[in-house]
Chain A
Amino acid sequence: AQSVAQPEDQVNVAEGNPLTVKCTYSVSGNPYLFWYVQYPNRGLQFLLKYITGDNLVKGSYGFEAEFNKSQTSFHLKKPSALVSDSALYFCAVREPHNNDMRFGAGTRLTVKP
């Protein structure tokens, strides 16, 4: 069965610095990969997805992620962090013919002024 690992519980960056939130996955076949963000007392908001095509995916709010098949990774990145980016970030994976989407445990991003 597919699975996702987010190796960092917490990521701290200074405002204006680049940020990376890491995600690795395990799946048989080609993965569908997703990033979601969760603000306090809110549901998950879709940021971006990789289905096929270009390995670099651009999403909402200036975020992007790079699909690396050899390293089975899908790290989330942003060139310049904002304080308002502070939230909980979830990576998720599912197989193309399997409706079961598996989420990582989440990474809490804190951007300090």
Chain B
Amino acid sequence: AQSVTQPDIHITVSEGASLELRCNYSYGATPYLFWYVQSPGQGLQLLLKYFSGDTLVQGIKGFEAEFKRSQSSFNLRKPSVHWSDAAEYFCAVGALAGTASKLTFGTGTRLQVTL
């Protein structure tokens, strides 16, 4: 069974500081990995995804994530956080092939940005 663990429920960083959100996954095959961001009362926006190839993936809004198979991790990073980055971040794992799809989401990490 596939699963995702986001060990940090809540993180607070100062604006301009660097950020790393942790994600560990369990998946029986080559994983497809995603990071989504959710603002309060909103749906989810895709930040970035990893399917194959380069293990360092660039996304929108200056985010990047690195896939480390040996550690079963897919941590999200940003070198300099902006106040507008405050939101809930979800890591997800799954497979997307044809009409089949099942994404499993982590429990999320709430990011608070202090000025």
Our verdict on whether A and B bind, yes or no, reads no
